[in-house]
Amino acid sequence: MLRYASYDIVFQEIPGEVTLALNISGCPNRCAGCHSPHLQDDIGETLNENMLVKLLDAYGASITCICFMGGDAEPPEVLKLAGFARNCGIKAAWYSGRSGLFEDAEKYFDYIKLGAYIENLGGLDSPVTNQHLYRIDNGQMTDITKCFHQNIKSTKYINT
**Per-residue b or e along 98-112, where b marks 16 or more CB atoms closer than 10 Å to that residue's CB:** beebbeebbebbbbb
Band (pLDDT 50/70/90 cuts) for residue 32 is confident
Band (pLDDT 50/70/90 cuts) for residue 158 is very low
Exposed, middle or buried by CB within 10 Å (0-12, 13-18, 19+), for 133?
buried
| Bridge partners (DSSP) listed for residue 67 | 21, 93
List the helix and strand counts (H, then E) for the chain: 2, 8
Band (pLDDT 50/70/90 cuts) for residue 153 is low
Q: Contact, 127 vs 152, CB < 8 A?
A: yes
What is the reported pTM?
0.90
Distance CA 92, CA 19 (A): 9
Q: What is the pLDDT of residues 66-120, one digit of tens each?
A: 999 999 999 999 999 999 999 999 999 999 999 999 888 999 999 999 999 999 9
